[in-house]
Amino acid sequence: MKRINYVLAFILLFIAIASAQTVYVTKTGAKYHSAGCSYLKKSSIPIDLKDAIDKGYTACSRCNPGGSETIQSKTEVKSDNTEKVTTEKKKTETTRTRCIAITKKGTQCKRWAEVGSNYCWQHKK
């Protein structure tokens, strides 16, 4: 009986620790981050994950705190200036293309085009 009580207490403690995950926000940003994120260089304010979500913050795409859906991305760049991104767990595939704009030097832009467009953010018309 004592053993069951200890196991139950351990499980409840684990659930309490897991549900009170600390994430970090910045003074001006709208995203929450994990402790080692490179976006936290200038400011980092600790906050509980649940509070951050309640206040309207969204997860950082770089550090992916809070164990969101995406686990791993695999990127394949092909010779025809397209890129195939496969994301594990969600099993989604996206094909992107290079921006087709010509720079001042006369070469093709090296940025990726926005989804549904042939141009990057800088050359978008």
Domain ranges of the chain: 2-59, 70-125
Query: How far apart (Å, rounded) are the C-alpha atoms in residues 121 and 125?
Result: 9
Token representation of residue 1: 């009986």
Token representation of residue 4: 């069951």
Q: What tens digit of pLDDT does each residue of 48-76 get?
A: 888 888 888 888 888 877 654 444 455 56
Q: What tens digit of pLDDT does each residue of 30-55 get?
A: 888 888 888 888 888 888 888 888 88
Length of the chain: 125
Task: Give the per-residue pLDDT at 70.
Answer: 40
pTM beyond 0.85, yes or no: no
Token representation of residue 42: 């200038």
